[in-house]
Amino acid sequence: MDDSPKSLAGLPSCAIASCQWSMVLWGTASYLCSTAQSADALIAYRVLLGIGMGMEFPVAQTLLSEFVPAAKRGRLIALMDGFWPLGFITAGIVSYFVLPLFGWRTVFALLALPAVFVLVVRRLVPESPRWLEHRGRLAQAERVLAHVEAKVMKSARVSSLPAPSRLVEPACAHGRGPFGEIWSAAYRRRTTMVWLLWFFALLGFYGLTSWLGALLQQAGFAVTQSVFYTVLISLGGIPGFLCAAWLVERWGRKPTCIASLVGGGAMAYAYGQSALFGGSVTLLVCTGLAMQFFLFGMWAVLYTYTPELYGTGARATGSGFASAIGRVGSLIGPYAVGIVLPVFGQGGVFTLGALSFVVAALAVAALGIETKGLALEALASTNAANATAHDAAGAAAN
């Protein structure tokens, strides 16, 4: 089941409290799934699980982006998001060993345990000083900064730190809420780009992954029926996100995003063709590994790039809505495949997926800006003329 409602749940705030409540929600919902006595109850609990996870995604990426320095921001966020394929693989391994012995209820119960990590978050993770300042809670922001600076001085064994550069992020336009802000003249181009990016990237990703097993089984590859096969090709995602984490700082967000989308589209097409024309299982696994390499790299760049496009007042909202628009694409993708398959066959299905990634890449190429190495305040221009000129110049330069 897709978790389309989940991204909307993370929109209103990027406070650390949202992170804590999201973990409690998805942990509780996962446990409730293990106790479900009917299909309707399981669906309801699964929706709650999706909402809780969706609250976590934009909050976590926004919080980290507001703490780390510009020179390391892209790499660290990409590495954080790289834990998604690691979690995906771990969940597959747990299912592979636990499901035959103890059943699906035990799997859901085990997946609720990581929510206990909320106790660590509550004690060790501070609130974003940028968010506190934006809310007018200056004394709290100063306390957080003093605490962080004290730890830095202790670690570096110095008695003082250099004075920071004075970068002031302009305030949101008066009377305009976060949603209005992301569609203001300053951010309109960026929002258009990132919505197209998320919509078509997730349309292609879920359109293919939702049908891959059935399509390949239809082509005679019984190996695709196993959880082991899914875990196996997902291993390609580990070097994929590590490579993306290096490239976003070395090469830049925009070219890395385009390369991962084009590469993912090409390998998705090759993956489908290897089944369509009766390729070997070895070829199928190799193309599957290559596909996951690019697609998990794509996910790392998406979560790195998106929060950098907005100011503090609109960052969580912009990230949350972009992810939500992507989930709309993830709903449409499987239905589109169901329409294309009877008319154009398996070749048409994989062509559709590849073209979706290409359209997403074209949106980034035409409208995207480069954010590598820039402070968040420098990226958060609210002057319409300056923002439009900056974005157009950034798109042309990259």
Q: Is the model's pLDDT at 14 over the cut of 50? A: no
Lowest-pLDDT range of 11-20, 24-33, 44-53, 371-380: 11-20
Identify the residue with better confidence: 38 or 388. 38
Spatial distance between the Cα atoms of 65 and 68, rounded to a whole number of angstroms: 6
Identify the residue with better confidence: 185 or 221. 185
8-17, 91-100, 184-193, 388-397: range with highest mean pLDDT: 184-193
**DSSP state at residue 132:** H
In the prediction, which pLDDT does 165 show? 66
Spatial distance between the Cα atoms of 6 and 18, rounded to a whole number of angstroms: 13
**Other beta carbons less than 10 A from residue 228's beta carbon:** 11
Q: CA 349 from chain center: how many Å? A: 24
Identify the residue with better confidence: 217 or 223. 217
Q: Is the model's pLDDT at 114 over the cut of 50? A: yes
Q: Is 136 left (phi over 0), alpha (psi -120 to 50) or beta?
A: left
Number of H helices, E strands in the chain: 17, 0
Give CA angle at 24 (18, 26), nearest 5°: 100
- To the nearest 10 degrees (0 to 180), the angle between helices 83-102 and 237-250 is 170
In the prediction, which pLDDT does 1 show? 42
- pLDDT-derived band at 189, boundaries 50, 70, 90: very high
In the prediction, which pLDDT does 2 show? 47
pLDDT, average across residues 354-378: 89
In the prediction, which pLDDT does 176 show? 62
pLDDT, average across residues 104-132: 78
- pLDDT-derived band at 122, boundaries 50, 70, 90: low
Lowest-pLDDT range of 208-212, 231-235, 262-266: 208-212
Position 40, amino acid = D
The length of the chain is: 398
Identify the residue with better confidence: 233 or 295. 295
Closest residue by Cα to residue 61 from 316, 380, 327, 330:
316
pLDDT, average across residues 258-275: 88
The DSSP string of 230-271 is HHHHHTTHHHHHHHHHHHHHHT-HHHHHHHHHHHHHHHHHHH
Q: Is the model's pLDDT at 92 over the cut of 50? A: yes
Identify the residue with better confidence: 335 or 397. 335
**DSSP state at residue 163:** P
Contacts of 213 (CB under 8 A, 6+ apart): 224, 225, 230
pLDDT, average across residues 296-304: 90
Contacts of 183 (CB under 8 A, 6+ apart): 191
Instruction: Render pLDDT for 304-316 as a digit per residue (tens, 0 to 9).
Output: 899 889 877 778 7
In the prediction, which pLDDT does 27 show? 85
- pLDDT-derived band at 38, boundaries 50, 70, 90: very high
- pLDDT-derived band at 385, boundaries 50, 70, 90: very low
Spatial distance between the Cα atoms of 137 and 339, rounded to a whole number of angstroms: 53
- Sorted by where each starts, the structural domains of the chain and their CATH numbers stand as 4-123+175-397 (1.20.1250.20)
**With pLDDT > 90 as the criterion, what percentage of the chain qualifies?**
21
Lowest-pLDDT range of 77-86, 256-265, 279-288, 349-358: 77-86
Q: Is the model's pLDDT at 18 over the cut of 60? A: no
Report whether 297 contacts 288 (CB < 8 A).
Answer: no
Mean pLDDT of the chain: 79
pTM score, two decimals? 0.75
pLDDT, average across residues 229-234: 78
Q: Is the model's pLDDT at 31 over the cut of 80? A: yes
